[in-house]
Structure 1
Amino acid sequence: MSINYIPRVTQLDAVHLDNQVEELFKQQIFQAAKFLEPGFLQAILPELELLIRTWIFRYSFYNKKSTFGQEMLSLKYKTDNITSSKLYWYFGYRIGLKYIKDRALYSFTSNIRVQNVIHKIETFQLIGDILNFLRFIQSGKYPLLIDFILGLELTADKLTREDLTDFSWTRELLWHNFIELIGTAISLMNMFGLRNKLTTVLKYVWWRKHAKSSTIPGEAVMTHNTVCGCCSNKPVLPYTMGCSHIFCYYCLVANKTVDQDFACPKCYYNGKEISKFVMV
């Protein structure tokens, strides 16, 4: 008789075990090749990882309908809805896509267009993983995005690690994954742009008297008391954006790079061009 409820912590632990099995294989290969010429394996590292993942896939999910990590915890996928096409899609998403990204990073490092495409793919994948993890915490099914897409549901005849369902253990592991989720989400944020957008919102809500940008910008004058309009320190390589305030070159260029509509935080003048400040 199959178990209807599988604890979330057990499903997450199976995912972690799969990652550790792959790392263990790679460590063994690197250990065996440590006496070879330095850098010998680096040139073929994407192909080497492809072979390792393919071997693991062939003798785990393809043959037994469960990964090595799931098998350690007596879990397996329900076989009634696993088709050949789903096996191919699973292989393509979890193994083929990783190989394409790794090989593109190795072979097209200087190609900006290719790197931008790879970055966008990784961003969409991370967003999908985050949304799926939130759904998994709520429903307790499909810990991986590809499982949810293909409808691969886990089942078990028994649980060999019932001790993991202890409340403190479960809470610790779930919080660990939640912290990783927060770290991933923060890494996707454009902090400069977010700060500027928030400043703009606050400007219109609480500081309405400063809402209108200056239509007649003043002339910038630098004295020994002048500070940067962004960091409030002495300007380093002073630059201006058309208003009467002076900025550090890095402060101004960094803000303009991430937000073309960046306005002066002092007078809210939205200068489109920046220029080096020259003492007259």
Structure 2
Amino acid sequence: MATSAYVSRINQIDASQLDKEIYHILRQQTTEISKLCTPGTIGKWQPEINALLKVVVWNYSLRNGNSTFGQQLLNLHYDKYNKKKAILYIVLSVVPGYLQEKMIDNRLIGSVERGNQIRRFLDWISTTVRLLTFVNILVFLNQGNQPNIIERVLGIYNRPTTTQRPRNIGYSYMTRELLWHSLIELFTIGLPMVNVHLIKQRIKRIWWTRKIIGRSVAPKLEFDTKCPECDQSPNLPRHAGCEHIFCYYCMKARFTVDNSFECPSCGVELHSARMRTA
């Protein structure tokens, strides 16, 4: 590999992934359009449509320039690239996949035995290509260029479009993010463990005296009755020993935390064993 400007490995891999995502987006859109047609009309032409999409992407990128759409987004381009290699690039990108999709169609295979032979041959080719792709990735990690096997076959290299400058990395933003996420985790874990109602009770005890009743009080549910907890009309009204009526869920939530609590309105200590329907 000729010596030239350094190209980040991650940028090369990201450019390749962006090209794949662009193709998949176009393919997904054609699939959505085909749903409007009669079932089976477009499906039999799917290999041709996939090949045409690749040709369209190539026509507006590598045919008129020396970079794919993914490379353009990351300021990369191909070095040692010409018209001949551009044609070979699209042939190697389209023809193998097209033949594989077309040969799978049983209608193009005469006999079952011939079909099995063709499938075994395609599986062998596919396995070989995957092995070569794996080897190419290992070489790419060592040399730092040509992450795709087609690039290595054609002898083209990734080069930066603009002069790369050393990046000054500041850690102040990272520090703020770490502190913020740590604070959020502290609140997320700690707040549910705080019994807010118990704290409110302790504060209220400073200025009121708890009422002690010797007999249970029969509260009356009236039109303007409000739940002392949520200050709304009681939903599934319940009481537990004082003259006030609670919502079922308000009272049940308090008793889930503790077997007893003080009524927010009168300060009477209520116990879960006394919980009754109003």
TM-score (norm 2): 0.53
- Indicate conservation of the 8 Å contact 1:74/1:157, yes or no: yes
Deviation, structure 1 residue 55: 0.7
Unmatched tracts of structure 1, length 5 or more: 167-280
In structure 1, distance between residues paired with 2:6 and 2:156: 15
Deviation, structure 1 residue 16: 0.4
In structure 2, distance between residues paired with 1:71 and 1:157: 9
Aligned to 1:83: 82
In the alignment, does 2:156 pair up with 1:152?
yes
Q: Which has the higher contact order (CA 8 A, sep 6+)?
A: 1
The one-letter amino acid of 2:139's match is R
Deviation track 1:69-109 (CA, whole Å, cap 9, x = no partner) reads: 1111111101xx32333223212211111111111112446
In structure 2, distance between residues paired with 1:15 and 1:119: 25
Deviation, structure 1 residue 43: 0.7
In the alignment, does 2:10 pair up with 1:9?
yes
Deviation track 1:227-253 (CA, whole Å, cap 9, x = no partner) reads: xxxxxxxxxxxxxxxxxxxxxxxxxxx
Judged with a 3 Å threshold, the aligned counterparts in structure 2 of structure 1 residues 158 and 118 are, in CA distance, closer, same or farther, namely same
Judged with a 3 Å threshold, the aligned counterparts in structure 2 of structure 1 residues 5 and 31 are, in CA distance, closer, same or farther, namely same
Of 22-31 and 106-115, deviating more is 106-115
TM-score (norm 1): 0.53
Larger Rg: 2
Judged with a 3 Å threshold, the aligned counterparts in structure 2 of structure 1 residues 159 and 53 are, in CA distance, closer, same or farther, namely farther
Give 2:138's match in structure 1, choosing from 123, 134, 138.
134
Runs of 4+ in 1 over 4 A off after TM superposition: 107-110
- Indicate conservation of the 8 Å contact 2:132/2:149, yes or no: yes
The structure with more helix, counted as a fraction of residues: 1
Q: Match of 1:64, SS?
A: coil
Identity, in percent, stands at 24
Aligned to 1:26: 27
Judged with a 3 Å threshold, the aligned counterparts in structure 2 of structure 1 residues 159 and 31 are, in CA distance, closer, same or farther, namely farther
- Say what the alpha-carbon RMSD is for the aligned residues: 2.7
The one-letter amino acid of 1:40's match is T
Aligned to 1:122: 126
Report the number of matched residues: 162
- Indicate conservation of the 8 Å contact 1:128/1:145, yes or no: yes
In structure 1, distance between residues paired with 2:100 and 2:8: 33
The one-letter amino acid of 2:158's match is L
The one-letter amino acid of 1:104's match is M
In the alignment, does 2:53 pair up with 1:52?
yes
- Indicate conservation of the 8 Å contact 1:74/1:159, yes or no: no
Unmatched tracts of structure 2, length 5 or more: 171-278
Aligned to 2:92: 93
Q: Match of 1:155, SS?
A: strand
